[in-house]
Structure 1
Amino acid sequence: MDSIFHEKQEGSLCAQHCLNNLLQGEYFTPVDLSSIAQQLDEEERMRMAEGGMASEEYRTFLQQPSGNMDDSGFFSIQVISNALRVWGLELILFNSREYQSLMINPINEKAFICNYKEHWFTIRKLGQQWFNLNSLLTGPELISDTYLALFLAQLQQEGYSIFVIRGNLPECEAEQILGIMRVQQQQRPRLIGEEEAQTSSGSRSVALGQSEMGFVVEDEVVDEDEELKRALALSRQDIDVEDEEADLRRAIQLSMQGAVMCNKSSECEVGNVKSGSQAAGSAAREQREGQNETLTAEELRKRRQAYFDRQQQQTQTNIPQPKDTQPTGSSGSVNAGCEGDQQPKPSQ
C-alpha cells in the first residue's frame, strides 16, 4: 500500500522537515533553504544600506547574526514563506483578526504550519482525514475532524503561531489513496525521545496499514477486490437459482408426461374390462399391480392364459360330487371297486 511521507527530526532541521512533510516529498535540503536565507540576508543588507553605509544602524546590522538562519539549522518564517512561494503557496496567520473574522471551519482548509520556540511542524489533510506530521513524532498521527479545532485551540493557548496554507499543494500518492478510503489508527505515535527502540532517523515513508503506526482500513470502507468477490458470489447465486428453476420445470414436465401415460394405460384397462369377462378384469388388476415392470405383449398373453387356467381349475374343484349308488343289473361296472374294492356276491 502507498505511504504517507513522514520526515523525522534530524538535528535542528525542523523547518526542512516541516516543508517536506507538507509537500509529501524530499523537496528541500538544508542547502536549498540556506541559499534562500542568504538571499534574504542580502536583500535586507541592501535596504539598510539605502540609509547610508556610514550610519550607526547599518554598522549594527552588519555586526548582528543572520535572522533567517543559524548554525543549528533553524530557518525563519521568511525562509519558509519564500520556499513555499516557489510552489504557488501562501501563508496566512491563523491567529490574525482578519482571518478569524472569516469564520472558516478549520476542517475546510488544506494544511497548517505551526511554530513554537523555533520548532516547526505541519498538520495536513490527506484525502478526507487530518494528520499531525510533527517530525518529533515516531510517525503520522491521525486527527479526527472533531478534535482538529480543539487541537488548534490548544496550540494557540500554549503560545504557538499557526499559519494557514493557501494554494494547490503538489499531488502525492497518499492523497490519492486516502481520497478513496479511510483509515483508523490503533496505536498512537510517541515522541522520538520516548521511543526506546529508535534506530534510524531522517527521511522515511510510513506505509499505511503497517503495525508500527497501527493504521488499518475502516470497516465500513469496502475494498474493491472484496466488492468484486461479493458481486461474483451474487452472480453465482443467481445462476444456482436459475438452475433450480430449470430443474423444477423439467420435473413438472416429466410428471405431466407420466400422468398422460398413466391415463392412456387406464383407458386401455377399462376397455379390456368392458370387452372381457370377470377373469379378464382380474387379469387387468394383476397387470396394474405389476405396472412397474415392463412386459411384452407375449409375456402379458402368457400371464393372462396362466390366470385363466388357474381359474378353470378352481371352478372344477368347487363343483359338488354326487353320492355313491348301487348299480342295477349285471352291467353296473361304472363304479366297480369304489366301495373298498368289495365285489358283489353271486346270488344263490
Structure 2
Amino acid sequence: MEYIYHEKQDGLLCAQHCLNNLLQNSYFTAVDLGTIGRGLDALEANFMAERGYSTEEFRRFSEHPSENMDDSGFFSVQVIQKALESFGITLASYDSPQSLEAKEHPERSKAFICNHDAHWIAIRKIGTQWFNLNSLLSAPELISDLHLSLFLTQLSLEGYTIFVAQGALPDCEADQVLQLMKATQTTKPSFLESDHQHTHTQDYNAQSIEDEELQAAIAMSLTDGTEAKPDDGL
C-alpha cells in the first residue's frame, strides 16, 4: 500500500483530498480550488446580472452570492468538475442513462467520486484492484470487484450521491507497480481520530463496517432473489 498516494483528512478539506487521491498526486491545494470557486461565482454573477439587477433571482443571489465554496473548506461539485476538466476528466451521475454500463458493471469503470453531508470520497482502480481512498481512513481500503458493487449500493442507500469519473486518469507510480503485483491487506483500515471531522463520520463508520446480513440482502436484491454470498472485500 505504500505506493498508493493517500491524503488524510486535514480540517474540512475533503474535496481537495478527494481530487488528489483520485489523481494520485498533490495536484490541487485549497487555494487552487478557491480560485476555481471564485471564478465560477463570477460567471454566475454575470449571468444573473444579464437577466436584470431588479429581478427576484438576482436579489436572492446577492444575499447568498456563493454556493461553490465557503470559509470552512467546502467546495461544490461544480468546482470539482471544473478542476477535473484540466485533466480531460468528466463526471456523470451514477443514475444517469450514460452511466448504465458503469452501474451494471462498476468493475469495468476507472473511478467514482461520492458525496454525502459535504464529505467527498474517491474510489479508484489502481493496477487491477479497487481502493476506497476516503481521507477519513488511516490507509487505503482494498475492495474486491464483487464487493465494489455492494459497496456502491450501500453508499447509495446511505444517501450518497455517486459520480462516475470518465476519461483517462493521469499515470501514477502506484498504477505501474500494482499492474505487476497485487496489493494485500490483512487489517481493515481504521477511521482517523479527530475532533474536527464531518458530522456524518460516525454514520459512515457504522455503515462501512461489514454486515453480512445486509450485504447478503443487497446481493439477493441485485440478483432477483438468487442466492449470493457476501464478499469481505479483501
TM-score normalised by the chain length of structure 1: 0.54
Matched with 2:31 is: 31
Question: Aligned-pair distance for 1:184?
Answer: 1.3
**1:179 maps onto 2:175 in alignment:** no
| Equivalence for 1:126 | 126
In 2, distance between residues paired with 1:162 and 1:103? Answer: 10
Secondary structure, aligned partner of 2:125: strand
Deviation sequence 1:221-272 (CA, Å, 0-9, x none): xxxxxxxxxxxxxxxxxxxxxxxxxxxxxxxxxxxxxxxxxxxxxxxxxxxx
Q: Which residue pairs with 2:50 in the alignment?
A: 50
CA–CA separation in structure 2 for the residues paired with 1:45 and 1:8: 34
Offset of 1:59 from its aligned partner? Answer: 2.2
Q: Could you tell me how far 1:136 is from its partner in structure 2?
A: 0.3
In 2, Cα distance between the equivalents of 1:55 and 1:132? 45
Residue identity matched to 1:46: N
Q: 1:152 aligns to what? A: 152
User: Letter of the aligned partner of 2:45 in structure 1?
Assistant: R
Change (3 A) 1:11 1:103: closer
The match for 2:111 is 111
Distance 1:103 1:76, change over 3 A: closer
Alignment of 1:161-200 (within 5 A): 161-193=161-193
Q: SS in structure 2 opposite 1:5?
A: coil
**How far apart are residue 186 of structure 1 and its match?**
0.7
Cα gap change, 1:134 to 1:61, in 2 (>3 Å): same
**Structure 1: 5+ residue runs without aligned partners?**
195-348
| Other-structure match for 1:141 | 141
* AA aligned opposite 2:52: G
The structure having more radius of gyration, on CA atoms, is 1
Q: Any conservation in 2 of the 1:2–1:177 contact (CA below 8 Å)?
A: no
**One-letter identity of the residue aligned with 1:23:** L
Aligned counterparts of 1:150 and 1:64: Cα–Cα separation in 2? 39
Query: Do the aligned partners of residues 189 and 15 (structure 1) sit closer, same or farther apart at CA in structure 2, a change above 3 Å counting?
Result: same
Q: Which residue of 1 aligns with 2:70?
A: 70
Query: Would the aligned equivalents of 1:2 and 1:173 in 2 still touch at CA under 8 Å?
Result: no
Deviates more, 1:160-169 or 1:46-55: 46-55
| Residue identity in the other structure for 1:73 | G
Which structure has more relative contact order (CA 8 Å, sep 6+)? It is 2
**Count, aligned residues:** 194
Partner Cα separation in structure 2 for residue 103 and residue 71 of structure 1? 35
In the aligned structure 2, how far is the partner of 1:118 from the partner of 1:145?
27
The 3 A distance-change label for structure 1 pair 170 and 98 is closer
- Counterpart for residue 59 of structure 1: 59
* Cα displacement (A) at 1:58: 1.2
Return 5+ residue gaps in structure 2 as ranges: 195-234
Cα drift, residue 76 of structure 1: 0.2
CA 1:45–1:169 in structure 2 vs 1: closer, same or farther (change >3 Å)?
A: same
* Partners of 2:122 and 2:134 within 8 A in 1: yes
Counterpart mapping for 1:210-229 below 5 A: none
Comparing 120-129 with 60-69, greater Cα deviation is found at 60-69
User: 3-state DSSP class of the match of 1:169?
Assistant: coil
Question: Is the contact between residue 92 and residue 164 of structure 1 (CA under 8 Å) also seen in structure 2?
Answer: yes
Partner of 1:95: 95
Q: CA deviation at 1:188?
A: 1.1
In 2, distance between residues paired with 1:11 and 1:102?
Answer: 32
The Cα of 1:107 is off from its aligned counterpart by 0.5
- CA distance, structure 1, for counterparts of residue 135 and residue 172 of structure 2: 19
Displacement of 1:150: 0.4
Name the SS of the counterpart of 1:92 in structure 2. strand
Q: Is the aligned partner of 1:13 residue 2:13? A: yes
